[in-house]
Chains A and B, each alone.
Chain A
Amino acid sequence: MEQDAERSTSTTATVASTSEVSDLDPIARVRKLLFRQMLVGIKDGRFFLGNFHCIDKQGNIILQDTVEYRSIRRSSPSPTEQRCLGMILIPSSCRTSCHVDCSIEEQLSLVQLKE
């Protein structure tokens, strides 16, 4: 299973595959993001970094092996604390941002595809 995940990561990360990806519909493209490192920010200012595991129609996301990052003070920039949480469910209602770890080339393609 893990090998599959790595393979999918490596293929999507290559430049060659970007054009291929761009042809797919959004669902297929999100499916390509599975198992990759995802950074989700939520309303109260915390961030969660974990492996993208699942998403449903309502936009609730499940991450695996998650680390929580939290600032010590309200005023930013400030130092952060972190702790491990394991598997978490982030309801779409409290999600404010969502990012995926990728190469610069891939990022460009994702940005293009948005429009």
Chain B
Amino acid sequence: MQPVREEESSSIQNDPGNCSIPSGDSSVWADVSPLLSAACTDLQEGELIHGDNFNLFAAMSALEIMDPKMDSGMVSAFYSIDEAIESGFAPVPISSDKTVNVESIIDIMDHLLVCEATWHMGHSLAQTVFSCIYVLRPERTSSQALLHSYCRVIRATCRAVVSVVSDARTNEEEDLLTMTYGLPFNGDEDAKGLLLLNAVEETICRQLRACKATSAKRRLLEELEPLQTNPHLEEGFCKALLCRIRFRKHFLHALNCMRRPQGRGHELARKHIASCISELQSLLESAEFLRSNTVNNGETEIEERTTASGRQPIGFDSTLNKRLSAPTPPRAIKLLSWKKAIDYFVKLLHNLDQICAFSLEPDLDFVLQFVIQFHKSRPDLVSRAHLQLLLVQDGKLYGRDTFLTICARLLAIDVSKNHGLHLNEYILQLNQLMINLLKILCANTPWQRRKLGKILNDWSIFNVQMGINVGQLMQQDTSRSQKNGDRSLFILNHVYGWIEEQIHWVALRFLVLGFELDLYSPSEYCMVYWYMYIILWKLHEKARLRVLIVVHSEERKAKRNKEYSRDMAREDRISLWVLLIQCQTSLTQGLTLMIAALRNEGMCLKSQGPFNTENEKFTQHFELLQKASLPEYDAYESFSKSTAHASLDFLPAYECFRDAQKMAKDIKVGYANDPDKLAEVRGIEQVAEHNVIAVNLLCQDRSLKVSLEFTHHPYFATAIVRRS
């Protein structure tokens, strides 16, 4: 987009005969329109004039000029930003009437908030925030401190968000959030915005005080010019502006605090976030006042308004930058409403607060459970990017703990004496695998599932290699290394055991995410629960082994050193977690058997469709798991054998649901202080309880109708029995 050189660009006119676009040397532009139209008349219907290299297929992909969905260069209202400004589209000041001026500025602020939220949802910056000429050209408004500082701070905020998201790279290809090509992002000037905004806030505070003051005091404040000319509206306007300004200020501060390394700014960030949320509340409250000043023509519905007052803001044209939104086609975007934008920000702030409140314990179990809990509220890209940057910094957990120490902590081993170990090739690889895993867990749900399926293979190959190598080393010399006090091999062996557990954790997460994404049809629940059962069973076995190792080594340490205090809370936490897995194992086993029995008795859910056989569906769902040898045997064969003879007559005898119910009761006691976990366990308990009843009813009366529903738990089904 460089301007054509001066002599070339002197005149492009509608008469291209003397057009400035250069023709070749010693040649001219000859008008061929008459010739073309003569040729067109002579052409047959469907005939083309083309060269030998013409390819109809390639020609189909030509960009169609003047097509609103393809031609981003179509000239709409203005040829350029400069022309828009010259034509008075975005005047400075907006109005000579000070009251109208303030009103308009508030509209602009509201609309910018809407633009910002729409941008966070994945649209391009060029079509949202930077559709505002005041934001595009802040230097024009330098005489208008209020508008100027606000626009500067908006730009600084956009920069902060772009930097978080592009550093974390949690965004998908379709997310346009980080695209800023061709937009003016002047960092130095924008950084001063906060100072200016503070000064503006100060002034408005004084104006607010002045208008509230009694007449006696007013004299003292007389030299202070009011915000606008109508004294009845002064207080309302001051308040409306203050909450908007303060929200901006605190939001930018919060984002900046969260970027401090190792989560050091989190405490301060939480204070700013709390302020933001309360300012948003004031913003909503100011809407009534602002709406009362507008002549309501009743045209715009509340649901579609992008400003509190319901007026159209001045100075916005989303087509101005349309050409900058490439490489996407020039589509019109639908902005959120003002109310929805505020809802979005409230949710974002709550998610950020969740991250800031996280205690940064160097405990991987804890981290993984937190991330899963965090995902339950379906956090948006910006908060996920923040979480990821917190978890992985400089290749370390929280930028603080190496993954070797984290793993060692999981197994309660001390690695401080084994200095060489962190350079061990397996530990280095493990480091990379862990970083990848944590990053993937911060991605959105569909992407997360896809990537988890893929890394399973990496993990299992790594596991096999490490197993062979460590096994060989163990055989060669166990005695010598023990004597030197070098416990590297011992540690590696334990780490190897833990990796197997971790693989099963990833596999379980992969299966569970399928429920969240609605990937399974009711006829496939049987095989999904069977697979979950297999994975959970193995996970339980590995996790229990780890608990034994931990308890054993803690006991030893305690014996050796009398003053050593065992971390009982942590031991309890792992044991509880293991019990929860056991409980889920029973539940999935019960579900598998129940659904298989129902299927065998022909009471519901035949998994035969006209297209795929059951075996094919099985492969489609679990191919990635089988590639990673989870399990090592032929899973489909095992599945069909184990479910072929399930029958309602034997079902009550298995008592899987009863076991799950009992365990859930015990676990609930342990999680008494953790409301999130408690809710989860309660859900499991209810599923088990209802299924016990359903199985009993079904055994008595085979004519009942059964359906599976997720009323008590997001991925454990409850059988609902009805009389037909």
A39 in contact with B21 (CB, 8 Å): yes
Interface 0/1 of A24-47, CB less than 8 Å to B? 011101110111011101111111
Of A26, A61, A73, A101, the contact of B35 (CB 8 Å cutoff): A26
Cβ of B368 < 8 Å from any Cβ of A? no
How many B residues face the partner with a CB closer than 8 A? Answer: 64
Would you call B28 and A104 a contact (CB within 8 A)?
yes
By the criterion CB–CB under 8 Å, are A34 and B50 in contact? yes
- A89–B65 Cα distance when bound, in Å, is 6
Q: Pick the contact of B16 from A4, A80, A92, A99 — CB < 8 Å?
A: A99
Quick check: A57 and B79 within 8 Å, CB to CB?
Answer: no
Cβ contact of A29, chosen from B24, B35, B66, B82, cutoff 8 A: B35
Specify which of A55, A81, A89, A92 is in contact with B48 (CB 8 Å cutoff).
Answer: A55
CB distance from B54 to the nearest CB of A (A): 6
Q: Tell me the B43-64 residues at the A interface (CB within 8 Å).
A: 43-54, 58-59, 61-64
Q: Which chain B positions have C-beta within 8 A of A29?
A: 35, 39
- Specify which chain B residues have a CB less than 8 angstroms from the CB of A34 in the assembled complex: 49-51
Contact with B along A67-100 (1 / 0, CB 8 A): 0111111101101111101111111101011111
**Contact of A37 with B4 at beta-carbon distance under 8 Å, contacts A73-B79, A83-B73, A99-B17 already known:** no
Closest-by-CB residue of B relative to A34 is: B51
Nearest CB in chain B to that of A99: its residue: B29
B612 at the interface (CB under 8 A from A): no
Contact A44 B66 (CB under 8 A): yes
Q: B17-49, CB under 8 A of A: which get 1 and which 0?
A: 101110110111111111111111111111111
Q: In the complex, are the beta carbons of B28 and A102 less than 8 A apart?
A: yes
Q: Does A77 lie within 8 Å of B10, measured CB to CB?
A: yes
Check A30 against B1 for contact (C-beta < 8 Å): no
Q: Mark B73-104, 1 if CB is under 8 A from A, else 0.
A: 11100011011001000000000000000000
Q: Could you say which of A13, A25, A81 contacts B42, with CB atoms under 8 Å apart?
A: A25
Beta-carbon nearest neighbor of B44 in chain A: A57
CB distance from A57 to the nearest CB of B (A): 4
* Complex partner residue of B62 from A62, A76, A102, A103, CB under 8 angstroms: A62
> Contact: A73 with B82, CB < 8 Å?
yes
Contact A76 B73 (CB under 8 A): no
* A55 nearest in chain B by CB position: B49
Q: How far is the CB of B262 from chain A (nearest CB, A)?
A: 45
Contacting pair B16 A39 (CB below 8 A)? yes
Contact A39 B29 (CB under 8 A): yes
Whether B63 contacts A33 by the Cβ 8 Å rule is no
- Residues of A close to B27: CB separation below 8 A: 13, 101-104
**B26 to chain A: which residues have CB within 8 Å?**
103-104
Task: State whether the Cβ of B9 lies closer than 8 Å to any Cβ in chain A.
Answer: yes
Cβ-closest chain A residue relative to B26:
A103
Contacts A62-B59, A83-B73, A90-B65; is A99 near B13 (CB within 8 Å)? no
Given A27-B42, A58-B40, A99-B16, check contact A73 B83 (CB 8 Å): yes
Contact A54 B73 (CB under 8 A): no
Question: How many Å lie between the Cα of A5 and that of B53 in the bound state?
Answer: 10
- Max chain A Cβ within 10 angstroms of own Cβ: one of B17, B20, B74, B80: B80
A107 to chain B, nearest CB (A): 4
B372 contacts the other chain (CB 8 A): no
Bound: A12/B75 CA distance, A: 36
CB–CB A106/B30 < 8 A: yes
- Name B11's closest neighbour in chain A (CB-CB): A77
Expressed in whole angstroms, the Cα–Cα distance for A31 and B39 within the complex equals 9
Decide if B47 touches A56 in the complex (CB within 8 Å).
yes
- A100 and B29 form a contact (CB under 8 A): yes
Cβ of B64 and Cβ of A89 under 8 Å apart?
yes
In the complex, which residues of chain B have a beta carbon less than 8 angstroms from the beta carbon of A111?
Answer: 30
Distance in angstroms between the alpha carbons of A37 and B21 in the assembled complex: 12
B43, A56: Cβ atoms closer than 8 Å: yes
> What's the nearest-Cβ distance from chain B to residue A86, in Å?
7
**Once the chains bind, are A53 and B51 in contact (CB under 8 Å)?**
yes
The answer on a CB contact under 8 Å between A57 and B12 is no
Chain A residue nearest in CB terms to B87: A74
Judging by beta carbons under 8 Å apart, are A101 and B24 in contact? yes
B79 to chain A, nearest CB (A): 6
Q: How far is the CA of A103 from the CA of B27 in the complex (A)?
A: 4
* Closest residue of B by beta carbon distance from A49: B21
Asked if A16 lies at the interface with its beta carbon under 8 angstroms from chain B, I say: no
Tell me, yes or no, whether B724 is within 8 Å of chain A by CB: no
Q: A113 near B: Cβ within 8 Å?
A: yes
Neighbouring A residues of B48 by C-beta, 8 Å: 54-56
Q: Give the chain A neighbours of B51 by CB distance below 8 A.
A: 1, 4-5, 34-35, 53-54
- CA A2 to CA B33, docked complex, whole Å: 25
Report which residue of B40, B59, B82 has the largest number of chain A beta carbons within 10 angstroms of its beta carbon: B40
Complex CA distance for A99 and B65, rounded to whole angstroms: 18
Nearest B residue to A97, CB-CB: B16
Let me know if A85 and B63 touch, CB within 8 A. yes
A53 to B44 Cα, complex, angstroms: 18
Q: In the complex the two chains form, is A69's CB within 8 Å of B49's CB?
A: no
Instruction: Judge if B2 is at the interface, Cβ distance under 8 Å.
Output: yes
List residues of chain B with CB within 8 A of the CB of A89: 59, 62-65
List, in ascending order, chain B residues with CB within 8 A of A56's CB: 40, 43, 47-49
Supposing A27-B43, A37-B24 touch, asked if A99 and B30 sit within 8 A by C-beta, the answer is yes
Cβ of B712 within 8 Å of any chain A Cβ, yes or no, is no
Q: Is B479 an interface residue (CB 8 A)?
A: no
B1 in contact with A81 (CB, 8 Å) = yes
Known pairs A45-B75, A56-B48, A59-B37; A33 contacts B12 (CB<8 A)? no
B14 at the interface (CB under 8 A from A): yes
Given contacts A47-B21, A56-B47, A91-B64, contact A70 B75 (CB under 8 A): yes
In angstroms, how far is the closest chain B Cβ from the Cβ of A14?
12
Q: Which residue of A lies closest to B61 (CB)?
A: A87
Q: Given the complex of chains A and B, what is the CA–CA distance between A102 and B17 in angstroms?
A: 12
In the assembled complex, which residues on chain B have CB atoms less than 8 Å from the CB atom of A57? Answer: 40, 43-47
Contact B80 A73 (CB under 8 A): yes
Do the beta carbons of A97 and B74 come within 8 Å of each other?
Answer: no
Nearest Cβ in chain B — how far from A70, in angstroms? Answer: 6
Known: A27-B39, A88-B65, A102-B27. A96 touches B14 (CB 8 A): yes
In the complex with contacts A47-B16, A79-B3, A102-B50 CB distance below 8 A: no
**B15, B51, B52, B58 — most chain A CB neighbours (10 Å):** B51
Q: A39-B21, A80-B3 are in contact. Are A26 and B29 (CB under 8 A)?
A: no
A58 vs B41: C-alpha distance in the bound complex, in angstroms? 9
Find the B residue at minimum CB distance from A58.
B40
Residues of A within 8 A of B140 (CB): none
| A residues near B15, Cβ cutoff 8 Å | 97
Beyond A1-B52, A72-B80, list 11 extra A-B contacts (CB 8 Å): A26-B35, A56-B43, A57-B44, A79-B4, A81-B3, A87-B58, A87-B62, A92-B40, A99-B31, A101-B24, A110-B31
Binding site for A on B (CB under 8 A): 1-4, 9-17, 19-21, 23-24, 26-54, 58-59, 61-66, 73-75, 79-80, 82-83, 86, 323
Can you spell out 12 A-B residue pairs with CB atoms less than 8 angstroms apart? A30-B35, A38-B32, A54-B48, A54-B51, A56-B40, A62-B59, A70-B75, A72-B80, A81-B3, A82-B1, A97-B31, A99-B30
